[in-house]
Chains A and B, each alone.
Chain A
């Protein structure tokens, strides 16, 4: 008696089976569906600023990691390694350009995103914590701008950082300590650039990443703020 020929596997069933396999073990498919397939109020282009920021953050993190592979955070090597990235490394000019312009784009988008939140009144109850975590991200991005500026280590970067550190020093009582903290000592030295580098690529991005997680958790939990309009009852009376 000939053996029965097994039916060819159904591709749809195979995919569904694979999803079930992951679902039973991790629950991730449900997580992703809950995250992406939410009910939202009528939205517009202004609601895309947050996800644009997330995209730019991912861009900055990726290009930053690539630049870190070549960059040398030392007084003797910093400028030369940047020059090597820009002039000699394959597509180095592009990766560095993306990181440089991405930084400006991120600050611009951040202001627009904050403005949107402000003018929609989206910072009000129950979304105060979303606003506060966003504020921490805002200050951290400013810190990224400050610490990243020095790393190029040309004349403009150097003097701009001297000025920025001294601005911190003018705050009474704590100011002088903050400027010595940033310089990693009483004067601009070799430790200054490595300290700025560590802040720029480890400490502040870690903080931003953690805050983005909390920020997005709150966005998903509380929902998106609709366009502030009069209640329907008021509109009917008009």
Chain B
């Protein structure tokens, strides 16, 4: 009675060709099953992963928007620090989620060049740099209701947990309208404002130490920015 060969070795006696090196039927079926399974997994998994993770690399474009007529943003006659709240909508198609508030401080100076030392306005973002709550203006500067962050009249942190100064808007006067045209994160170097691409709250744009450290390390640790941007402006 013919025996069913248990392995390829048994075959070797009968078959003249070199069957020892060949793949057995069950090995072949195992391989194809695993291979097909991996392929099916990839066909489902790769698009799913890309679909979910793609927004991770997104940046938005800041669209210029008017804050209102320049005459609305007057300097306080008694010279006190009283920035005026200006609400606007960053993305008109999504007013529910992109309503924003800027604090417009009229410095009483003449220049309409936003980078000049005697610029007429400083337009602060109201987003606290601790974890993103909205700050309120006070005579001493700004204060955050969530965790007690305090800023001075330049938007620099004076107390509490915020990690950097308040963001500022790039502005211009056009047809007597105060327009915000871009947004920048800021920090102070030797008492002078320095601008950076916008990072989320809680992420430093600058670290203490030599310029090699503070120019590169924050971008390695926090590699993501919110807005598409061109050349970063320099304060004059």
Contact = CB atoms under 8 A, between A and B. Distances in A.
Contacts of B131: 162-163, 166-167
Given A169-B202, A175-B222, A184-B55, A75 B133 contact: no
The DSSP consensus for interface residues of chain A is helix
A76 B94 CA distance: 9
B97 A186 contact: no
A166 B133 CA distance: 10
Contacts of B58: 180, 185-186
Given A162-B131, A179-B200, A186 B146 contact: no
Given A75-B97, A185-B60, A180 B203 contact: no
B24 interface: no
B64 interface: no
Contacts of A65: none
A166 B201 contact: yes
B98 interface: yes
Q: What is the predominant secondary structure among interface residues of chain B facing chain A?
A: loop
A83 to B, nearest CB: 15
A28 interface: no
Interface string B79-122: 00000000000110010111000000000000000000000000
A135 interface: no
A189 interface: yes
A184 B60 CA distance: 12
Contacts, number: 84
B227 A186 contact: yes
Interface residues of B, number: 32
Interface in B123-160: 131-134, 146
Contact of A162 (B53, B98, B133, B226): B133
A62 interface: no
A191 B94 CA distance: 11
A173 B221 contact: yes
B52 interface: yes
Interface in A165-183: 165-167, 169-170, 172-173, 175-177, 179-181, 183
B15 interface: no
B230 interface: no
A166 B97 contact: no
9 contacts: A75-B96, A159-B133, A165-B132, A166-B202, A169-B202, A172-B221, A179-B200, A187-B60, A190-B97
Interface of B: 52-53, 55-60, 90-91, 94, 96-98, 131-134, 146, 199-203, 220-227
